[in-house]
Amino acid sequence: MPREFDTAYDRTLVGILVGAITLPWVLVANDQINGTVPAEAWWILGGATLFTVGIIRAMAWPVRYVVDGEVLRIHSGFVKYRVMIGSITRIDPTRSPISSPAWSFDKLRIHFRVRGGHESSIMISPADRDGFFAALAHAAGRSFRE
């Protein structure tokens, strides 16, 4: 039976994103009060905001992780990743700010083997880490914790 896990949300990361979206509106509104903003600026700002929110929706929301038999499925918006649980070599904690299917800086870097024996990795941030590790251990027949 598949086990589904939601991503953890880091207030700082969400705050940075919300700030990046709202700050241009505040700045343009401030300039509008001084009468220095042409009307077209509002249309441009609106279009840029819709584009940004659309990209976030398409690629980064919602995020969930599913342990399903021998496969770890990672869903990030419309983007989907599949990692064979048997190919996982190790899992390390990380606070990397590099983009990944996670809404937290407190992440897990999953190292796994891909075709040809090369190692790859992906970072995730399950809200229920204990449950996530238990589901992986059950699926793999071994623990991934040290």
Q: Is the predicted pLDDT of residue 64 greater than 90, yes or no?
A: yes
The share of the chain scoring above pLDDT 90, in percent, equals 47
Angle 11-33/39-60 helices, nearest 10 degrees? 170
Given this model, what pLDDT does residue 75 score? 94
pTM of the model: 0.78
Average pLDDT, the chain: 89
Cα angle 63-17-51, degrees, rounded to a multiple of 5: 80
- The residue among 100, 99, 70, 94 whose CA lies nearest residue 83 is 70
Q: Is the predicted pLDDT of residue 146 greater than 60, yes or no?
A: no
Cα angle 112-117-121, degrees, rounded to a multiple of 5: 25
Of the two residues 37 and 119, the one the predictor is more confident about is 119
Tokens of 11: 């207030």
Over residues 91-103, the mean pLDDT reads 87
Q: Is the predicted pLDDT of residue 133 greater than 90, yes or no?
A: yes
SS3 state of residue 98: coil
Given this model, what pLDDT does residue 28 score? 86
